[in-house]
Every structure is written in C-alpha cells, then in structure tokens.
Amino acid sequence: MDKANRPHIFCHMETSLDGKIMGKYLWIEETNAEEDSFYTLFSGPKAYFKPQALLNGRTTVEDNFTFYKTPDVDEGAAPVPAGDFLADDGKTGFYLIVTDSKGRVAWEEGQLTDFYGHEKAQVVEVLSEQATNAYKAYLRDKGVSYLICGKDRIDLELTCRKLKDVLHLDSVMLGGGGAINWSFLQQGLCDEVSVVIAPAADGSADTQTLFMARPGFSDDQPVVFSVKDCKVMADGKVWLRYDVKGKSQHNFAADSEYQAVQDMLAKVGNP
C-alpha cells in the first residue's frame, strides 16, 4: 500500500524484560513511577509522539474499557443506512479506533473524557460486513461512529485508507494487543516501533507478548527492523525505537537445516 494513502502508523508499547505486554509486572511499585515514561512519551504537554488517534484491537479495549459486557442490542431494530456512520461529522480532535469485526464491544457512549491527556476522544468502531444491523443500530443509538472495512473480516488496508480519507488522520498510534500489532507489521502498514521496557519480568507463559501471529490472519514470517534510538529514561525504563524494514524474504520451506531442526523438535515433542 502506498504510504501516501494512509496515515503514518507507529506502534508504541510497554513490555516487561521478557517481552510481555500484560502481567503482574504492571502492578508492582517498581514499574509505576509518578511520571511513567511510557505514558509521557505520547500524552501530556511534553509528549514526544503526538498522534491524532489510538488504535486498539477488541481484546485490549475489552480489557481496559468495557470489561467484556454484552451489548444490549435490539434484534428488531429498523434497518440502518448502508455504509459508514460518523456521530459528530468527524469534528472531534482525538479518536479511539477499535477493530471489532463482528461487533461485540458494549459501549455506553461515543466519547471518552480525560483520555490520555485529551479532554475527550471519539470512539470509532471498525467493523466488517459480518456486524449485524442490530449492532450498528446500537452504536448509532449510543453515538458511536463506525467504519465498514471488509466483507468477512477486517481489511486493514481499507481501514488505513479510510482513516486517511474519512477521518483525515495523518498520525495513528497502534497500541495492541499483540495480534493486531503483528497483523499491521505483516501487511506492511506499520512504519515505526517504539518499545518502553520496564525493569521487571514475571515469567508467565499465559500472557500476551508484544507481537503474536494469529492463525488464519497472519503468519510467523520474520519482520526486520533497523534501530533508530535507545535511551534510558528517568524512571529506569529503556526506550527503544525502530524503523520497520519489512518482512524477511528468507525461504524457510527450502531451508534444509531449518526443516531438519523442526523435524527433530517434532520428534522430541511427540515421542
């Protein structure tokens, strides 16, 4: 996709030393300074990044905002007009954009207040055509904007194009979870990765990592980066910045040494 047809998209995340974006390490005193560098880098008067929107996957939004409530939809709602819906004609200064293919998030209203240093943020749901009329009517009733991007699943290229053409965005922060982060990278839609590493780890095998391939949506072909900068922050965290170079062209199927190692691991795992 031509970069001129989409916003500049950067992924900004905090991880533990073992690469986790969720876990017990986030709750301990040592990772929660009064001025947390992860947040001050993109919010507040001294922010380095100045995005116009935060883009999250559905699970991240459910974890942090709606807590897996069920939307109270009216299955008998009158048919809504086809296409996209903007609750305030795109006049809000900041957006929370959510990829929610089938329409599951239970919003109570279309705007969030005091949102990461912004007075308010307009919620924009990115739906596929699999979202029901009842759910779209529910969003309209709550004043929640939505964009239709894809037939059976969300088309990320179309999403990026609409962020540029419909919402007029030039800079978007990609903020997790791991599956949506990786999908953007795999499709060449993320320009920069910014990682703030906390000086802690919890060793959990059950929590999300920074990037996670999702079977049927993205594969595990490596992506290559080039280092832009590295800084130790005042709160003891380390800030790493990378430009995204793109997917590796290595042919693993034709790599006999790699295949031999995989065969050996399969035998060890299945004696």
27-32, Cβ contacts within 8 angstroms, sequence gap of 24 or more? 28/200, 30/199, 30/200, 30/236, 31/198, 31/199, 31/200, 31/237
**What is the predicted pLDDT for the residue at 16?**
98
**What is the predicted pLDDT for the residue at 219?**
95
**What is the predicted pLDDT for the residue at 88?**
80
**What is the predicted pLDDT for the residue at 90?**
56
Average pLDDT value over all residues in the chain: 96
**What is the predicted pLDDT for the residue at 270?**
62
* Element at 40 (helix H, strand E): helix 37-40
| 59's tokens | 């699970």
In the predicted model, residues of the chain with pLDDT beneath 50 are none
| 159's tokens | 């999403």
Instruction: Please give the sequence-ordered ranges of beta strands (E in DSSP) within the chain, or none if there are none.
Output: 8-15, 53-57, 95-99, 111-115, 118-127, 145-148, 171-174, 192-197, 223-232, 238-247
**What is the predicted pLDDT for the residue at 262?**
95
Q: What is the CATH number of the domain that holds 145?
A: 3.40.430.10
Number of domains in the chain: 1
Name the one residue in this structure whose structure tokens are 């883009």.
55
| Percentage helix, strand, coil for the chain under 3-state DSSP, each rounded to 5 | 25, 25, 50
Pick the closest to residue 202 from 34, 14, 22, 38 (CA basis).
Answer: 22
Phi, psi at 112, each rounded to 5°: -110, 140
> What are the helix (H) ranges across 143-195?
156-165, 178-186
User: How many CB atoms are located within 10 Å of the residue 108 CB?
Assistant: 12
Cβ–Cβ < 8 Å for 6, 155? no
The domain in which residue 257 lies consists of 3-269
| 69's tokens | 């409530």
Residue range 156-179, pLDDT digits in tens: 999 999 999 999 999 999 999 999
Cβ–Cβ < 8 Å for 169, 214? no
